[in-house]
């Protein structure tokens, strides 16, 4: 299992946090996603044979946030 921290721009409330986490865990191959409002990051545990970095970034952008 791989682990990665992504910087996410545009999270302003707990619903944003939930939305970011959900868009990650919706991907097949993502085991866990924990977003943090203080640090503007999401920590993702995933299987890199199933999910690419582009997939992760794309899901965040599709949810309406920006990846930095
Ligand atoms: Mo909260 Mo986030 O009211 O786009 S859901 S700011």
* Domain residue spans of the chain: 2-43+56-67
Asked if residue 16 has its Cβ within 6 Å of ligand 1, the reply is yes
> 14 near 66, Cβ under 8 Å?
no
Strand partners, 33: 44
**Tell me, what's the ipTM?**
0.91
Q: Please tell me if the CB atom of residue 66 comes closer than 6 angstroms to any atom of ligand 1.
A: no
Closest protein CA for atom 2 of ligand 1: 16
Which numeric CATH code is attached to 2-43+56-67?
Answer: 3.30.70.100
Q: Which atom of ligand 1 is nearest to the CA of 11?
A: 2
CA distance 10 to 28: 24
Q: pTM above the 0.90 mark?
A: yes
pLDDT along the chain (68 residues), means of 10: 97 98 98 98 98 98 97
Q: CA-to-CA distance for 5 and 25, rounded, in angstroms?
A: 14
């Amino acid at each position: 299992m791989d682990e990665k921290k992504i910087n996410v721009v545009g999270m302003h409330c707990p619903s944003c946090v939930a939305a970011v986490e959900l868009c990650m865990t919706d991907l097949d191959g993502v085991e866990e996603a924990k977003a943090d409002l203080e640090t503007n990051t999401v920590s993702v545990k995933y299987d890199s044979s199933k999910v690419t970095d582009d997939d992760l970034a794309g899901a965040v952008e599709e949810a309406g946030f920006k990846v930095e």
